A and B are shown apart, each in its own frame.
Chain A
Amino acid sequence: MTAILTSRPVREASALARTTPGVLTALALLLVVVALLAGLFTSLSVLARGRAIDDLATRSGPLTAAAQEIYRSLSDADATATGAFLTGGLEPVATRQRYEADVAQAGNALAIAIAARDPADVTAQDSPLGTLARQLPVYTGLVETARADNRQGLPLGAAYQREASNLMRTQLLPAAQTLYRGEADQLAADQDSATAVPWAEILLALIVIALLVVAQGFLRRRTNRVFNAGLLVASAAAVVSLVWVLVATVSATNNTSDSRTNGSGQVDVLAQARIATLNARADETLTLVARGAGSAYQDDYVKVTGQLTGLLDRAGALATDPEVDRDVQAAKADAQTWAGAHAGIRAADDQGDYVTAVQRATDAGPAGAAGVFDRLDRDLQGAIDRTRDTFGAEVNDASRSLAGAMAAVTVLAVVVAAGSALGIWRRLRDYR
């Protein structure tokens, strides 16, 4: 060790380091390296933040919407197909069209959800996307068989419909639920990484500024010159870079937080409320289809409508847009009207008046169960669309806030490095 320390190159280097030109050279090198590294790190981290925000706009945001759409359309398709067995005779044209639209929409949203993933995500064991892709065609096949048998007047049709419903309730809908939770969690994670405080970037910028201050103090003591143009330019660039990063990040963070409180946070609650509405309607229908053997469905109805009330209260408390609030209030009122209509259905069915019960359940008038359900679903759809628009707008603003920050940070880092090197180089020349 001592041999190395006393060896000639080291001795010469340490001797040089004690001289003013030696210290200046070291300072210049240090400043250039630190400024460039800090610039690289900061621009990469701005890039990563921008990516997270882009993901919100192009991946997790739309995919959460797609997953919710898959659940909604599947659940509605099953309620519609089963409901066609409530009334005797040929299914109404509108019922069939609704079912077809639901299946088309489910397939469409599923394609979007799958396209955004890697093949490995679909082939993985118990992958919800895999289950949905494999079982949806099986489901529609069963429904069509049920329909063909029903058209020939065979009770067998109802058995195929029950098998289809069982597939929907035990496999497809749970998979859609898992998919939705996964996408919603991913969205929250993207929001978290877009709103992280840039401590490392701030610290690096402060180190660069501190080094510049030290260099200027040293130069003033050794050379008796108060100002050094190069170092001044470098200092100004470093400060501008720090401020730029701070302003851009804080603004992007605010927009992203707003995208959660005014957008996705509310969408999540509203989407759950809509799913509860769909489940309750399916339960109402299935109770009647089961004809007395449906107490399990009625129990589920009570549970689900309890959840719906809680979710609507939460959505009302979260609402920040007056129009969304109006939709939620309308939904609450409709949920109450529906509860009244449902009580009427149950009363008729429990008294053995099945025909009246079915009439009440399929009544599409303003106070009828079918009519109120459709209105409630529309209220929630409207609120979801509005909050989703808000989410998109906030994410766009966040993305815009960061625009140019990466280029600016990179250029400013080069300016800091060049300014420091040039400024010190001038003084070094005095020692020739």
Chain B
Amino acid sequence: MKRLLALALAALVLSGCAVSTTTSVPTVPAQVPTPGGAATAAAGAPPAAEQCPDLLASPRPLTPMPAPGQMPAGSTMAKIAQRGKLVVGVDQNTLNMGFRDPFSGQIQGFDIDMARAVAQALFGNPDAIQLRALTSDQRIPALQHGDVDMVVRTMTITCDRRQQVTFSSEYYEAQQRILVKKNSGISGPDQLAGKRVCATKGSTSLATLQALPQKPVTVSVADWTDCLVLLQQGQLDAVSTDDVILAGMAAQDRYTEVVGASLAAEPYGIALPKGDVEMARFVNGVLDRVRASGTWAASYQHWLFGLLPGPVPAPPAPQYQD
């Protein structure tokens, strides 16, 4: 039947009875590209801001601290020492906390210095370390599955997270603020009503944004630099997260600036598998040394001085449970 039709058609064409149709050129809207996994959500119900006493209290450091290569038998440290590498979940996208230097291909930054200090204490070698890049929402699952020994990735200590992981003492205190384009006219959270604001999935910044009374439209992405990409492409009005992360973005794009008062304090801790108190004691001992020896100040001087306003601050004072 199809062939008969084709033949009939051929006969029609041969006899010159072809019907001509016109083609119009439709207007096609441009489709903007998005980073993988980007999602937009209207402001939801504010999550119950849980309060817990002694949020920042962590197990007291080991005294005396074991020397490198002489970890107590049966401890997590001994297991890591036997493996020969400390596996750390880090960020490779956040200038200057944890980022991949395009020139050398190495991951480096303030967070990485902290992780290397732990490797130094374990092995006597800061390079006995394996860095695994994680996105914000991969941090807790990676610890729970045992993919990494610890996470040093601009991770805020919260009550919620303390139920899933064990935190070290606080090693840095950031403040959540807002990054906007210089000509945006936005100078604080009050002007965010109805605006599109970006944060990473699984971050405290996202939860804080969703709880704002101005109810901004939140856009969630995998990595912090994805927010800057979207801001540059005009798909966003603002990015909101910790000042140290925002300062790293502003350093990469001079048409942006960090504005407004602090929305929330963000104390950073090193996350460890839930309940590993001995390891937490060891890491806290390392952090104590880092604070006391001037390593902390040197690291700040190297990575964050000039990026953040003001002189090199004193490291946050540790709080212990007992």
Contact = CB atoms under 8 A, between A and B. Distances in A.
Contacts of A164: 33
**A-side interface size class:** 35 or more
B130 to A, nearest CB: 3
Contact of B225 (A89, A150, A159, A292): A159
Contact of A166 (B26, B35, B102, B147): B35
B195 to A, nearest CB: 21
A157 B95 CA distance: 12
A162 interface: yes
B87 interface: yes
Interface stretch (B39-47, B132-140, B305-313): B132-140
B6 A352 contact: no
Given A89-B104, A159-B229, A166-B36, A352 B25 contact: no
A291 B28 CA distance: 38
Interface in A99-156: 118-120, 123, 130, 134-135, 138-139, 142, 149-151, 153-156
Nearest to B7: A44
A160 B100 contact: no
Contacts of B100: 155, 158, 291
B31 interface: yes
A247 interface: no
Contact of A162 (B3, B36, B138): B36
A193 interface: yes
B31 A290 contact: no
B102 A47 contact: no
Contact of A155 (B34, B92, B130, B135): B92
A293 B132 contact: yes
B223 interface: yes
A163 interface: yes
Contacts of B7: 41, 44-45, 48
A196 B6 CA distance: 14
A167 interface: yes
B135 A293 contact: yes
Residue of A134, A155, A159, A291 most packed against chain B (CB within 10 A): A155
B94 interface: yes
A292 B3 contact: no
A382 to B, nearest CB: 35
Contacts of B26: 123
A223 interface: no
A170 B25 CA distance: 26
B85 A87 contact: no
B10 A291 contact: no
Contacts of A48: 3, 6-7, 10
Given A44-B7, A88-B102, A159 B35 contact: yes
Given A88-B103, A134-B28, A166-B35, A45 B229 contact: no
B276 interface: no
Contacts of A155: 92-95, 99-102, 225, 252
B229 A158 contact: no
B271 interface: no
Contact of A88 (B31, B99, B105): B105
A159 B252 CA distance: 12
A218 interface: no
Contacts of A358: 105
B131 A291 contact: yes
Contact of A153 (B6, B34, B102, B229): B102
Contacts of B57: none
Interface string B237-273: 0000000000000001100000000000000000000
A389 B104 CA distance: 47
Interface of B: 3, 6-7, 10-11, 23, 25-26, 28, 30-31, 33-36, 85, 87, 89, 92-95, 99-107, 129-135, 138, 147, 223, 225-226, 228-229, 252-253
A-B CB proximity, top 9 nearest: A88-B105, A352-B130, A292-B132, A159-B225, A291-B133, A166-B36, A155-B99, A352-B85, A119-B23
Interface of A: 41, 44-45, 47-48, 85-89, 118-120, 123, 130, 134-135, 138-139, 142, 149-151, 153-160, 162-167, 170, 193, 196, 290-293, 351-352, 354, 358
